[in-house]
Amino acid sequence: MSTEPSLPHPELLAAIPRLRRYARVLTGETTRADDLVQETLARAWEKRRLWAAGTDLRAWLFTIMHNVFVNQRALARRDAQNVSIDGDEDGNAAWQIPVRAMQQTRVELMEILREVGRLPVDQRVVLVLAAVEEMRYEEIAAVLSIPVGTVMSRLSRAREKLRRVAQATPTEPSTLKIVK
């Protein structure tokens, strides 16, 4: 019999869709997001003895993912010094709508998601953890290793930017004059 600590299998499987969603927000790309989830799960398995039974497994996994992502970005920045600046551009693949919606609703949603994608990463991450993952400020602060006040400030700034965009009136389409 193994005395090795184990992660709760059902909770681990239930966390994977949320990890994928968070990874897509962090990376902005489906393939890189899947790689980040895989790396997170591998790291969690390697460090499973550090997880305290009875604590929030999801928060622990999000913390691991955040740390892996930060480390990958730091490594990418170091590597960028030796790479051409003509590399491939990041698209907005993470913001694809998975279901068919009415055309106007889809356009409005795509506009909002584009604006979310334009938020600074720090604000975008806090917004997604709060709004999509429904994490409390304290949980977000623990995942990101920042003070609760910083979480509140970033979330407030992100919401305000999105509010301004949502309230902005679209430009009037130019009218075509018909000359007879």
Q: Are residues 62 and 113 in the same domain?
A: no
Q: Are residues 75 and 143 in the same domain?
A: no
Picking from 96, 125, 154, the residue at the C-terminal end of a domain is: 96
Average pLDDT, the chain: 78
pLDDT band at 80 (very low <50, low <70, confident <90, very high): low
Torsions phi, psi for 133 (to 5 deg):
-85, -10
**For 97-117, what is the mean pLDDT?**
68
Q: Are residues 163 and 108 in the same domain?
A: yes
Per residue in 25-36, pLDDT tens?
Answer: 888 888 999 999
Give the whole-angstrom CA distance, residue 58 versus residue 44: 11
pLDDT band at 162 (very low <50, low <70, confident <90, very high): confident
pLDDT of 173 higher than 60: no
pTM: 0.55
Picking from 96, 118, 142, the residue at the C-terminal end of a domain is: 96
Assess if residue 126 is contained within a domain: yes
pLDDT of 90 higher than 60: no
**For 46-72, what is the mean pLDDT?**
88
**For 75-100, what is the mean pLDDT?**
55
Assess if residue 30 is contained within a domain: yes
Assess if residue 79 is contained within a domain: yes
**Residue 61 C-beta-side C-alpha neighbours within 13 Å:** 28
The CATH number of the domain holding residue 67 is 1.10.1740.10
In this structure, how many other beta carbons lie within 10 angstroms of the beta carbon of residue 13? Answer: 9
Q: Give Cβ neighbours of residue 117 (< 8 Å, ≥ 6 apart).
A: 28, 92, 94, 95, 124
Cβ-contact 70, 43 below 8 angstroms: no
- What is the domain extent for residue 77? 1-83+91-96
Q: Are residues 50 and 104 in the same domain?
A: no
pLDDT band at 103 (very low <50, low <70, confident <90, very high): low
- What pLDDT score does 132 carry? 83
Assess if residue 137 is contained within a domain: yes
**For 51-74, what is the mean pLDDT?**
88
pLDDT of 171 higher than 50: no
